[in-house]
């Protein structure tokens, strides 16, 4: 599976790759470039506004979405321009040149000096653009003619395949975050790291109302209503910064002190982090946004692998001791940080995993371990094994055979329905965008408000009739768009829908004497997934499917709800199923559209060849990149090769296995606390045992690395202070520890950006490293197991485990910088806490 990178013969020729993309130009960087020529005169402003930048719909979205044009940050007030990107090897260096207007050199990034975590996907909330790549370059790792060399580089590719291909290509030349590279040369290191932050900003309260900070949290929130200040009418948005770098942004919400967002952000493949900041700002017309306050969350003591939800105070200047509180933000945060071992360390675990259908594992994890967050990891492993569709088909066969009533088939929340939702979200993003994306954005942009219930409106019967006509019009618009995109259904979804249809035909409609209602079961079975669990939820909640930024307004949300009801009724193939009297006006539309719906379901449930929507030249370019990646990976050490995402879905199998291992160990504590485990759970117990074995390997690697670093440091100190020792090349280098940041680093992370380990390839000259060797050795130490809070349950099961923990603590203490007692106490505190 992972060894497929080395199937192509190596070539000594220098490689060069070219791609066209859209480049974001910030206002500061745009001052150094000439603007694209405008063919129209300045006096004709109205005409130019009407036709510039494509369609009227896109222009309206850009004008009214103030979160796109906020000038306070590095991603506001700029513009996008076509660019040509050239990646070339120059000896041991890798240069990424970006040209605008086909001739102007805009920037050059030194990819060989970047970490893989510096190259990651940009949040769609920044620009509301898909397939955007962010390249974060520190000082000295990028050349630019302007003074904006520290701004991230934002590139948008024309398709998800192009984005994934170039993400893998650029990361293959960057440096993975590997620890113990010099001490474990056979595998390229001891382990690598992965981090992710899941943040949901729900709502705010009392924003804009100042009061002194209350350090006593014992008071009941319900008793504070009398002392709450008067609410303030504000237009508010939030910006999410990690390590003082803007990563995401919410939409602007109107609210009298209590706006509601309910917007979720997933920040993955992150570098070592110190703090998470949420800047709350007020938007003003004709003025720059005014910052109300900041929520600062130190991540060094934040518990990994668990969700924390609550109200966080918004402080005006940052320091709790001196500042005023200007409101609160309700958020839900989850921090994940995992050690990733080489793929060979998971061989026994993967062998046990492959003995059963992954959906059976998923069902046992949910019912017995109460673990409901690993379904994406299980599905990713199955996709890498090329067994996902077959195993879902096998489970569907079992569920249809065991069903007694066709009316309740696929209507409940079962393992099959959950995995089908994940599969449709995985494969069908582009399909959903083509089906309902344009018409949803048009409806929300035009602020269409539809209400056909006489009890909800005070207007007369004529207005209700007009709203019924308006509802029919927009239902027709939605259905036209959905029907026109039927051929774009991906082949994986077609195979699954075909299986559902054929199983129902075999089980319920095989006889020719069945009623017409049962003959429609095959179509209704497919629509139970395609519409009930995919298209209709996308209409109801477009922000959850990245079809539109943020929650729509209440009137628009009501319009989407009515349209979703009509579309679902159409998918049920029953034009007489309207329960509400006021919805009977759409009966004619439903009756006329039922034959087209049957035709639609027939198309999406018939397997066919994969539609090649990309150009032939683009597919050829991607093929060349994949071949080059295989050639490069064949000569890399193990951990370097495994850090490159696998195409075409950018999978990282050791990472998925590491996340699965940590989650299973964390949730298995109450399971193993039972007096007598159930003998019928033999398979689950065996899987947990394999996870504990992986945990032991991780602890062993951490202790080995700590011991070697300690011995190496002591040896260097003896050489340095010995009067008879010869002068070494590093004797003149200052070995004093790097000062730690005032905020304190996580105990599981290396040094700051300026002292991060530079992980070079075997052919790289060590003298080219920017940081001194002594600092690199001190930085390589990493104290973390694959599960941060699961060791207690494992130690109770085995008596030898505490000795491993004690030895780890001792080696840790001996390898910490002697001159920095605060750092030593902090690291030991972190280890004992975990």
For residue 406, what is the DSSP state?
G
Domain boundary among 309, 340, 371: 340
Helices (H), 52-154: 56-64, 124-127
Q: In whole angstroms, what is the distance from residue 30 CA to residue 367 CA?
A: 56
Q: In whole angstroms, what is the distance from residue 718 CA to residue 282 CA?
A: 59
Q: Can you say whether the dihedral through the CA atoms of 441, 443, 444, 446 is positive or negative?
A: positive
- Which of these, 178, 296, 287, lies nearest to 244 by C-alpha position? 296
CB 337 within 8 A of CB 748: yes
Provide the domain count of the chain. 4
Single pTM value for the model: 0.79
CB 304 within 8 A of CB 335: yes
3-state SS assignment for residue 242 = strand
Do 576 and 706 lie in a common domain? no
Quickly state the pLDDT bin for 7 (edges 50, 70, 90): very low
* 618 falls within a domain: no
CB 125 within 8 A of CB 263: yes
Core vs surface per residue 550-567: b (16+ CB within 10 A) or e: bbbeeebebbbebbbbbb
The pLDDT assigned to 91 comes to 79
* 373 falls within a domain: no
3-state SS assignment for residue 208 = coil
* 509 exposure class (CB count in 10 Å sphere: 0-12, 13-18, 19+): middle
The pLDDT assigned to 720 comes to 73
- Which of these, 205, 242, 238, lies nearest to 72 by C-alpha position? 238
- Which of these, 276, 265, 328, lies nearest to 301 by C-alpha position? 276
Do 166 and 203 lie in a common domain? no
**What number is the average pLDDT over the span 310-318?**
86
pLDDT at 377 over 90: yes
The phi and psi torsions of 800 (rounded to 5 degrees) equal: -75, -15
**What dihedral do alpha carbons 636, 642, 648, 649 form, nearest 10°?**
-160
Ramachandran region, residue 774 (left: φ > 0; alpha: ψ -120 to 50; beta: rest): alpha
| Range of the structural domain that residue 333 is part of | 191-340
Do 124 and 208 lie in a common domain? no
pLDDT at 812 over 50: no
Do 309 and 167 lie in a common domain? no
- Which of these, 336, 316, 339, 340, lies nearest to 326 by C-alpha position? 316
* 643 exposure class (CB count in 10 Å sphere: 0-12, 13-18, 19+): buried
Rg value, the chain, Cα: 29
Do 723 and 583 lie in a common domain? no
Do 200 and 88 lie in a common domain? no
Percentage with pLDDT > 70 across the chain? 71
3-state SS assignment for residue 87 = strand
Domain boundary among 584, 604, 624: 604
State how far the alpha carbon of 803 is from the alpha carbons of 45, 114, 800, in Å: 76, 39, 6
Core vs surface per residue 430-458: b (16+ CB within 10 A) or e: bbbbbbbbbbbbbbbbeebebbbeeeeee
Identify the CATH number of the domain in which residue 249 sits. Answer: 2.60.40.150
Do 751 and 829 lie in a common domain? yes
Helices (H), 541-586: 554-571
Long-range contacts, stretch 610-614, CB < 8 angstroms, 24+ apart: 610/490, 610/491, 611/487, 611/488, 613/159, 613/488, 614/159, 614/161, 614/162
* 131 falls within a domain: yes
Q: In whole angstroms, what is the distance from residue 138 CA to residue 554 CA?
A: 44
Helices (H), 269-414: 347-353, 358-368, 375-384, 388-401
Q: Can you say whether the dihedral through the CA atoms of 329, 332, 337, 342 is positive or negative?
A: negative
Q: In whole angstroms, what is the distance from residue 70 CA to residue 66 CA?
A: 6
Quickly state the pLDDT bin for 776 (edges 50, 70, 90): very low
* 515 falls within a domain: yes
**What number is the average pLDDT over the span 373-381?**
94
Element (H, E) at 525: helix 521-530
Identify the CATH number of the domain in which residue 139 sits. Answer: 2.30.29.30
Mention every residue, 6+ apart, whose C-beta is less than 8 A from residue 578: 569, 584, 586, 587
Do 475 and 570 lie in a common domain? yes
* 640 falls within a domain: no
Q: In whole angstroms, what is the distance from residue 192 CA to residue 643 CA?
A: 8
For residue 141, what is the DSSP state?
S
Do 316 and 434 lie in a common domain? no
pLDDT tens profile 409-457: 777 788 999 999 999 999 999 999 999 999 999 999 999 999 988 888 8
Terminal C-alpha separation, the chain: 34
CB 647 within 8 A of CB 165: yes
Q: In whole angstroms, what is the distance from residue 161 CA to residue 283 CA?
A: 37
* 540 falls within a domain: yes
pLDDT tens profile 283-310: 887 788 889 999 999 988 888 888 999 9
pLDDT at 28 over 80: no
The pLDDT assigned to 578 comes to 64
3-state SS assignment for residue 577 = coil
The pLDDT assigned to 458 comes to 76
Do 443 and 319 lie in a common domain? no
Range of weakest confidence among 77-91, 285-299, 498-512, 693-707: 498-512
- Which of these, 661, 720, 735, lies nearest to 692 by C-alpha position? 661
Do 50 and 112 lie in a common domain? yes
Quickly state the pLDDT bin for 136 (edges 50, 70, 90): very high
3-state SS assignment for residue 15 = coil
Domain boundary among 580, 604, 628: 604
pLDDT tens profile 182-225: 888 888 999 999 999 999 999 999 888 887 766 554 444 444 44
* 466 falls within a domain: yes
3-state SS assignment for residue 255 = strand
Do 568 and 711 lie in a common domain? no
* 539 falls within a domain: yes
**What number is the average pLDDT over the span 730-748?**
35
For residue 149, what is the DSSP state?
T
Q: In whole angstroms, what is the distance from residue 702 CA to residue 251 CA?
A: 43
CB 358 within 8 A of CB 378: yes
Element (H, E) at 291: strand 290-298
The pLDDT assigned to 697 comes to 93
Q: For all residues of the chain together, what is the average pLDDT?
A: 77
């Amino acid at each position: 599976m992972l060894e497929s990178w080395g199937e192509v013969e190596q070539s000594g020729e220098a490689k060069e790759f070219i791609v066209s993309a859209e480049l974001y130009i910030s206002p500061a960087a745009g001052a150094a470039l000439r603007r694209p020529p405008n063919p129209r005169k300045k006096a004709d402003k109205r005409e130019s506004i009407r036709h510039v930048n494509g369609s009227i719909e896109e222009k309206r979205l850009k004008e009214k979405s103030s979160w796109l044009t906020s000038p306070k940050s590095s991603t506001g007030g700029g513009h996008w321009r076509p660019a040509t990107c050239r990646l070339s090897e120059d000896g041991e260096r890798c240069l990424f040149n970006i040209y605008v207007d086909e001739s102007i050199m805009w920037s050059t990034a030194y990819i060989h000096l970047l970490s893989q975590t510096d190259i990651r996907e940009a949040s769609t909330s920044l620009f509301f653009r898909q397939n955007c790549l962010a390249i974060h370059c520190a000082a000295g790792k990028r050349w630019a003619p302007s003074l904006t060399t520290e701004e991230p580089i934002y590139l948008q590719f024309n398709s998800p395949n192009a984005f994934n291909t170039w993400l893998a290509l650029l990361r293959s030349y960057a440096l993975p975050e590997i620890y113990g590279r010099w001490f474990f040369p056979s595998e390229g290191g001891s382990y690598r790291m992965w981090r992710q932050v899941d943040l949901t900003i729900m709502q705010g309260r009392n924003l804009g109302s100042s009061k002194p900070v209350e350090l006593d949290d014992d008071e009941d929130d319900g008793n504070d209503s009398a002392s709450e200040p008067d609410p303030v009418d504000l237009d508010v948005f939030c910006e999410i910064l990690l390590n003082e770098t803007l990563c995401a942004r919410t939409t602007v919400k109107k609210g009298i002190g209590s706006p509601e967002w309910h917007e979720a952000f997933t920040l993955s493949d992150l570098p070592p982090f110190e703090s998470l900041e949420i800047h709350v700002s007020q938007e003003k017309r004709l003025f720059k946004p005014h910052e109300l306050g900041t929520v600062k969350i130190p991540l060094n003591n934040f518990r990994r692998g668990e969700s924390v939800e609550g109200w966080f105070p918004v402080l005006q200047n940052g320091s709790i001791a001196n500042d005023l509180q200007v409101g609160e933000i309700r958020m839900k945060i989850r921090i994940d940080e995992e050690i990733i071992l080489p793929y060979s360390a998971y061989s026994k675990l993967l062998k046990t995993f492959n003995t059963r259908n992954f959906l059976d594992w998923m069902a046992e994890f949910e019912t017995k371990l109460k673990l409901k967050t690993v379904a994406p990891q299980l599905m990713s492993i199955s996709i890498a094994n090329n067994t996902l569709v077959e195993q879902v088909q096998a489970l569907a066969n079992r569920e249809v055979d065991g069903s007694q009533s066709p009316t309740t088939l696929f209507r409940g929340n079962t393992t099959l329905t959950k995995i089908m939702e994940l599969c449709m979200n995985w494969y069908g993003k582009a399909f959903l965008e083509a089906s309902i994306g344009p018409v949803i954005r048009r409806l929300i942009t035009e602020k269409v408000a539809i209400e056909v219930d006489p009890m909800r409106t005070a207007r007369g019967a004529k207005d209700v009739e007009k709203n019924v006509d308006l509802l029919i019009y927009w239902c027709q618009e939605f259905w036209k768009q959905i029907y026109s995109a039927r051929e774009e259904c991906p082949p994986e979804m077609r195979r699954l829908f075909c299986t559902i249809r054929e199983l129902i035909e075999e089980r319920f409609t095989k006889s020719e004497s069945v009623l017409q209602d049962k003959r429609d079961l095959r179509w209704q079975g497919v629509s139970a997934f395609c519409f009930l669990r995919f298209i209709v939820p996308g209409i109801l909640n477009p922000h959850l499917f990245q079809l539109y930024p943020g929650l729509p307004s209440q009137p628009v949300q009501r319009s989407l709800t009515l349209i979703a009801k009509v579309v679902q009724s159409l998918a049920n193939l029953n034009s007489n199923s309207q329960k509400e009297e006021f919805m009977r006006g759409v009966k004619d539309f439903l009756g006329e559209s039922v034959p087209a719906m049957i035709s639609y379901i027939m198309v999406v449930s018939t397997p066919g060849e994969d539609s090649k929507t990309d150009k032939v030249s683009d597919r050829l370019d991607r093929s060349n990149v994949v071949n080059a990646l295989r050639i490069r990976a064949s000569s890399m050490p193990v951990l370097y090769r495994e850090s490159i995402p696998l195409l075409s879905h950018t999978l990282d199998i050791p990472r998925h296995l590491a996340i699965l291992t940590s989650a299973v160990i964390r949730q298995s504590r109450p399971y193993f606390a039972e007096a007598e485990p159930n003998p019928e759970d033999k398979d689950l117990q065996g899987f947990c045992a394999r996870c504990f074995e992986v945990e032991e390997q991780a602890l062993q690697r951490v202790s080995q690395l700590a011991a070697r670093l300690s011995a190496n440091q002591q040896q260097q100190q003896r050489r340095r202070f010995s009067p008879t020792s010869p002068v070494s090349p590093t004797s003149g280098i200052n070995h004093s520890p790097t000062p730690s940041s005032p905020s304190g680093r996580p105990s599981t992370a290396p040094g700051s950006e300026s002292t991060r380990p530079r992980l070079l390839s075997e052919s790289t000259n060590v003298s080219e490293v920017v940081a001194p060797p002594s600092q690199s050795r001190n930085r390589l130490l990493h104290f973390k197991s694959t599960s941060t809070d699961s060791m207690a349950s494992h130690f109770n099961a085995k008596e030898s485990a505490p000795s491993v923990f004690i030895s780890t603590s001792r080696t840790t203490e001996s390898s910490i910088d002697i001159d920095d007692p605060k750092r030593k106490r902090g690291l030991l505190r972190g280890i004992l806490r975990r």
